[in-house]
């Protein structure tokens, strides 16, 4: 009696990666090897940005990171992070750009999961807080809820920044101050997710690195704090 052989199960063909192709691999290498901001910007807008969008979405879905709070914000944050480290990719490394940035993305979200777990452990539930006075201390009030007062504040601040430009500033500080004004003027045309996005725009405008921008922003912040204190005292 002959025994019938079980038919071999056919493996499902792995889905082809169509969003990060050889063209994108080459684009990453071009981006890493050039310092021309116009070329980098074009590569990112046309190829790398859309590929990173797809990569982040797929990794979040595959590893169920979508359970994290504020996941849309986190996805945007991760995409910005990927953009900031694009030029760190070494074309001589053995791993392909797709694998390299996939691992970085996955690890980035794993880190966020760990951060969220720690936060949940140490967070105090609002309803468990005892006294009304403690609750009141946790509430942040916006001192410029009134639209007219808010408009006046920004108008006076703009005028103050004009005055700052007449001071003897370092060239780097002037560049950062100009960048701040450009961002103010273009606020309706640009998409700002968070603080990292602002630094990205400022890097593009000034041609400076993040450390240089932060150092100069610290000097400008001192002037801003002085202005705000005088405004709150009613001296302006």
Choice among 10-14, 86-90, 167-171, 226-230 with the minimum mean pLDDT = 10-14
Token code pair at residue 87:
């030029």
pLDDT at 219 over 90: no
Cβ neighbours of residue 89 closer than 8 Å, sequence gap 6 or more: 28, 29, 31, 32, 97, 100, 101
The winner for highest mean pLDDT among 29-38, 83-92, 182-191 is 29-38
Cβ neighbours of residue 87 closer than 8 Å, sequence gap 6 or more: 31, 32, 40
More confident: 200 or 13: 200
pLDDT at 201 over 80: no
Rg of the chain on CA atoms, in Å: 25
Choice among 73-77, 166-170, 190-194 with the minimum mean pLDDT = 190-194
CA atoms within 13 A on the CB side of 12: 3
pLDDT at 220 over 80: yes
Q: How many residues does the chain have?
A: 236
Q: Where are the domains of the chain?
A: 22-121, 147-233
More confident: 50 or 37: 50
DSSP conformation class of 94: S
The reported pLDDT for the residue numbered 29 is 93
143-162 pLDDT per residue, tens: 434 455 666 677 778 778 88
The reported pLDDT for the residue numbered 56 is 94
The reported pLDDT for the residue numbered 30 is 94
Token code pair at residue 141:
């009030």
pLDDT at 126 over 60: no
């Amino acid at each position: 009696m002959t025994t019938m052989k079980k038919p071999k199960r056919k493996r499902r063909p792995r889905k082809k990666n169509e969003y990060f192709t050889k063209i994108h691999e080459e684009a990453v290498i071009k981006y890493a090897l050039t310092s021309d901001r116009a070329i980098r910007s074009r590569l990112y807008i046309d190829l790398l940005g859309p590929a990173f969008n797809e990569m982040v979405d797929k990794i979040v879905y595959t590893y169920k990171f979508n359970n994290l709070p504020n996941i849309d914000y986190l996805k945007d944050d991760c995409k910005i992070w990927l953009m900031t480290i694009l030029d760190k990719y070494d074309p001589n490394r053995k791993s392909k750009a797709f694998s390299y940035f996939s691992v970085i993305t996955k690890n980035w979200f794993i880190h966020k999961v760990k951060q969220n777990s720690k936060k949940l452990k140490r967070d105090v539930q609002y309803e468990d807080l005892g006294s009304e006075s403690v609750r009141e201390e946790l509430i942040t009030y916006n001192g410029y809820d009134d639209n007219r007062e808010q408009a006046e504040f920004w108008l006076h601040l703009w005028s103050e920044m004009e005055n700052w430009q007449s001071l003897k500033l370092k060239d780097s500080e002037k560049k950062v101050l100009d960048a701040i004004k450009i961002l103010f003027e273009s606020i309706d045309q640009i998409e700002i997710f968070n603080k990292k996005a602002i630094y990205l725009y400022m890097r593009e405008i000034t041609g400076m690195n993040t450390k240089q921008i932060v150092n100069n922003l610290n000097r400008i912040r001192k002037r801003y704090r002085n202005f705000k204190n005088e405004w709150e005292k009613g001296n302006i």
